[in-house]
Amino acid sequence: MEPRFNLFDSPTAAKVVKRFFNAGLALEQSTLPKALRELVELRVGQLNGCGFCVDIHTKEAAAAGESAVRLHLVSAWRHSTVFTEAERAALALADEGTLLGDRGVSDETWAEVRKHYDDDQIGALVCVISLINAATRMNVIVRNPGGSYEPGMFAALAD
């Protein structure tokens, strides 16, 4: 599978993608654990059918210490026993924040998130989910395939 278009071939898109990446770097300073951020981003990539994002966040999560069992079960997190209640709340928020439809995020899911995370972590979760949803859409539109990502390869984008 070949991508339809390389966003870095467009001066405007290249600037946006670089700034988009740099905006996400602020999340590295949050107290939300990197492994959890990667699990949430992996889940959104799965929901949006983004092979490129699934590739990135599977490999980054593994590099952050996630086990193969947990990575394999992210797609079936509701039907597995390997995630904590806090992680389940974050994954539910990722699901509902991605599949907004007419419902949006339920009060039940929000209450679970509030129970497990402080305000800064909730802000980070909302930003992670929003940013990865935008990224998956860009990658799906241009058909960026998964499979060739190496952990840390986007570090050159950082300002």
pLDDT over 80 (residue 136): yes
What tokens does 10 get?
Answer: 């467009």
Q: What are the residue ranges spanned by the domains of the chain? A: 33-148
CB count, 10 Å around CB of 113? Answer: 20
Average pLDDT of the chain is 95
Number of alpha helices (DSSP H) and beta strands (DSSP E) in the chain: 7, 0
State the pTM of this model.
Answer: 0.95
pLDDT at site 152: 84
Q: Measured on CA atoms in the order 17, 19, 25, 27, is the torsion positive or negative?
A: negative
Residues 66-123: tens digit of each pLDDT: 999 999 999 999 999 999 999 999 999 999 999 988 789 999 999 999 999 999 999 9
Superfamily name and number for 33-148: AhpD-like (1.20.1290.10)
- Read off the tokens for 90: 């974050």
Residue 156 scores a pLDDT above 80 = no
Percent of the chain with pLDDT over 90: 87
User: b or e along 6-41 (b: 16 or more beta carbons within 10 Å of the residue's beta carbon)?
Assistant: ebeeeeebeeebbeebeebeebeebebbbbbbbbbb
| Interval 16-33: pLDDT, tens | 999 988 898 999 999 999
pLDDT at position 130 is 97
Q: What is the pLDDT of residue 60?
A: 94
Residue-level pLDDT at 83: 98
